[in-house]
Structure 1
Amino acid sequence: MARVSRPDGHLAAFEAQRPRLLRLGYRMTGSLAEAEDVVQDAWIRWARVEEAVESPAAYLTRIVTRLCLDRADSARARRETYYGAWLPDPLVETTDMEAEIMADDITLTLMLALERLSPLERAAFLLHDVFDMELGEVATTLDRDPAAVRQLAVRARRHVEEARPRYKVERADADRIARAFFIASRDGDTAALASLLANDVTLTSDGGGKVIAFRNVIFGIAKVLRLFVALRRKSDERPEILEWVTIDGLPGYVTRDRGGIFQTTALDIRDGRVAAIYIMRNPDKLGHVAQAVGYSPDI
């Protein structure tokens, strides 16, 4: 790679890497806002570099990874005090930026699997398995021995693979099931819902303490069925579809729900059934989605 010259080449080299850096920051933190902050901090450090850099991509990847690792302890502490269930910021395929971040095959379900890894395991897996970095380069980035990094990646890969579906659902089938699920859940149709849900289905909703959401994850088809039936009985107002979307690689939709609450719903579909339901209601995590679908709470 040609050496970077200042000032024009310096900025151009950074801008060429920005989408990749943002994707790494999001995959490391689960937060789009935090990823953007990390990339901005990386730019500040990059702008101060006076010497020529042979590989801006490797250099900037190292900066962003270490910045994310520096934030890992405080992020974990925030998760522990977070009100209710926590979900990553939802990304929808309506903008070039978010489509770029979702260029890999890391779905929302796998993002949650990454949350169960240590920060170093997460970094090793992402850099080696997702961003295709050589093991030696990953070791340099993490300032660890290559053998230790290999073990980190192996342990991480084992956990992530356990969360992957055995069979990939076709897009048309996923969309059909998502639409059927929306109609059945909207109407409180117990029979239709029962035909769509896996027996061990889970429902996770993130309100962040800002709006009403279920504080704990709901497990099992019986409890999920009772939930949707109860919601239907409580109000004649029904959620309104704003857009059908893909959310972090999963089929889903954006709605204005009962009471005018803006939310996203993503469905993990396995073996033709909905295995997990992820509902984001936290307004702090939905601003970019509202902008993407052209929604304003004042409308």
Structure 2
Amino acid sequence: MHPASDFEQHRSALFGLAYRMLGSAHEAEDIVQEAYLRYAEETAPILSLKPYLMTITARLCLDTLKSARVRREEYAGPWLPEPVLTSTPADTAIEAESLSFAFLVVLETLSPAERAVFLLREVFDYEYVDIAGMLETTEANCRQLLKRARTHIDARRPRFPIPEQRHQALLSSFAQACADGDLHSISAMLVRDAKMYSDGGGKVRAALNPIHGADAISRFFLGVRGKGQPGVTVRIKSVNGQPAVLGYAGDQLVYMAQVRLEGDLISEIYIVANPDKLPSA
């Protein structure tokens, strides 16, 4: 039996791949546990442990995505990734982008194979020959999948990175404008064709369709002001390596909101209120 301590050295990388692939921390934990069980049951020598474990994890994720497709198509309203609380912003620009909520939303628009190749190559730095072996395909196909994924992601990637302190300041100002019901300030902080996605999972009140345009989004926030759960306090914390607005009713987290910035303006807003997706802390 292979030692558990060897597996634990790679747990964070396995979770990182699974979470980015699936957009769900709960499902990612299940994938990592299944990978461990397969590792523990392996009787043959393992020549290179991390590639072996990453291969198992990637293939399990692809299988999970096939079964998840129908569930997500039948989901009540927009499906958004499951937020993960992070104690501090991500350590590097690459890690911050690949973990960010906006990036995970873009990954959802890729095919499972495109997603796997992009992550293994761009985030985890594997060579094409290794990725081809992991995914049981050819190097040429991996290159084509990566080309399509890059084209799609580059089209949605902000032209200039936003410093974390500036990001937090803009988010705080927007949250305050929403709390004050300041229609003019809300609208002024949004790009004209801004989009808002809210995920209630059919369990709490949320917009069942994306809201498009600065005017419509501003009116939405003005309309819901004072209609939510009473006594909710707002805190700014790090979620997926970037600042987010967290709403608490007592100690219970009831929603998470994060934004995508284009310069000093907000281009997309993501609100997760589905209680099954919200962290307990």
Task: Give the aligned partner of residue 247 of structure 2.
Answer: 255
Q: Using structure 1 for the length normalisation, give the TM-score.
A: 0.87
| 2:218 maps to 1:225 | yes
Listed one character per residue, the Cα deviations across residues 259-289 of structure 1 (whole Å, up to 9, x for unaligned) are x871111011111011111111000001xx2
Assess if the C-alpha contact under 8 Å between 2:164 and 2:242 holds in 1.
no
Give the letter for the 2:50 counterpart: A
Task: Give the aligned partner of residue 266 of structure 2.
Answer: 274
Listed one character per residue, the Cα deviations across residues 20-63 of structure 1 (whole Å, up to 9, x for unaligned) are 00010001111111101111111110001112212110000000
Cα distance in 2, alignment partners of residues 261 and 205 from structure 1: 16
| 2:105 maps to 1:112 | yes
Aligned CA distance change for structure 1 residues 280 and 153 (closer, same or farther; 3 Å): same
Task: Give the aligned partner of residue 264 of structure 1.
Answer: 256
Q: Which runs of 5+ in 2 are unaligned?
A: none
* Aligned match for 2:73, one of 80, 83, 101: 80
Give the letter for the 2:38 counterpart: R
Q: Which has the higher helix share?
A: 1
Cα distance in 1, alignment partners of residues 176 and 203 from structure 2: 27
Relative contact order higher in (CA < 8 Å, ≥ 6 apart): 2
| 2:82 maps to 1:55 | no
- 1:198 positional shift: 1.3
Give SS of 1:203's match.
strand
Give the letter for the 1:223 counterpart: A
Task: Give the aligned partner of residue 152 of structure 1.
Answer: 145
* Aligned match for 1:182, one of 175, 185, 195: 175
- 1:118 positional shift: 1.0
| Pairwise CA RMSD | 2.3
Cα distance in 1, alignment partners of residues 48 and 96 from structure 2: 23
Q: Using structure 2 for the length normalisation, give the TM-score.
A: 0.92
Assess if the C-alpha contact under 8 Å between 1:93 and 1:99 holds in 2.
no
Query: How many pairs are equivalent?
Result: 278
Task: Give the aligned partner of residue 295 of structure 1.
Answer: none
Give SS of 1:252's match.
strand
- 1:251 positional shift: 2.4
* Aligned match for 1:29, one of 22, 37, 60: 22
Cα distance in 2, alignment partners of residues 166 and 264 from structure 1: 25
Task: Give the aligned partner of residue 138 of structure 1.
Answer: 131
Cα distance in 2, alignment partners of residues 263 and 230 from structure 1: 17
Write out the 4+ residue segments of structure 1 that deviate beyond 2 Å after TM superposition: 102-105, 232-239, 246-251
Cα distance in 1, alignment partners of residues 81 and 228 from structure 2: 29
Cα distance in 1, alignment partners of residues 113 and 61 from structure 2: 10
Task: Give the aligned partner of residue 93 of structure 1.
Answer: 86
Q: Which runs of 5+ in 1 are unaligned?
A: 1-5, 292-299
Assess if the C-alpha contact under 8 Å between 2:195 and 2:212 holds in 1.
yes
Give SS of 1:64's match.
helix
Alignment of 1:163-182 (within 5 A): 163-182=156-175
Task: Give the aligned partner of residue 16 of structure 1.
Answer: 9
